[in-house]
Amino acid sequence: MTDSVNSSARFLIVGPQGSGKGTQGVRIAAAFHIPVVSTGDVFRANVAAGTPLGQKVQAIIEAGDLVPDELTSEIVRDRLSQADAADGFLLDGYPRNLGQVSDLDDFLRGRDESLDAVIELRVPREESIARLSLRAQEQGRTDDTEEVIANRLGIYERETAPILGVYGERGIVDTIDGVGSLDEITDRIVAALEARGLIRTAAA
Domains of the chain: 2-37+88-195 (3.40.50.300)
pLDDT tens-place string over residues 152-192: 888 888 888 899 999 999 999 999 999 999 999 999 999 99
Choice among 96, 122, 196, 200 that is catalytic? 96
Strand order through the sheet with 88-92 = 36-38, 88-92, 9-14, 117-122, 173-177
**21 is a catalytic site residue:** yes
Q: Can the peptide bond before residue 16 be classed as cis, meaning omega within 30 degrees of 0?
A: no
Q: Rounded to an integer, what distance in angstroms lies between the CA atom of residue 111 and that of residue 101? A: 16
pLDDT of residue 64: 77
Q: Rounded to an integer, what distance in angstroms lies between the CA atom of residue 197 and that of residue 2? A: 8
pLDDT tens-place string over residues 74-111: 999 999 999 999 999 999 999 999 999 999 999 999 99
pLDDT of residue 201: 64
Whether residue 12 contacts residue 90, with contact meaning beta carbons closer than 8 Å, is answered with yes
Q: Rounded to an integer, what distance in angstroms lies between the CA atom of residue 172 and that of residue 118? A: 6
Q: Rounded to an integer, what distance in angstroms lies between the CA atom of residue 117 and that of residue 167? A: 9
Q: To the nearest whole number, what is the mean pLDDT of the chain?
A: 89
Choice among 10, 21, 27, 79 that is catalytic? 21
pLDDT tens-place string over residues 40-63: 899 999 999 999 989 998 998 888
Neighbouring residues of 118: CB distance < 8 A, sequence distance ≥ 6 = 11, 12, 13, 14, 164, 167, 172, 173, 174
Region 24-53: what's the mean pLDDT? 93
Statement: the pTM of the whole predicted model exceeds 0.85? yes
**188 is a catalytic site residue:** no
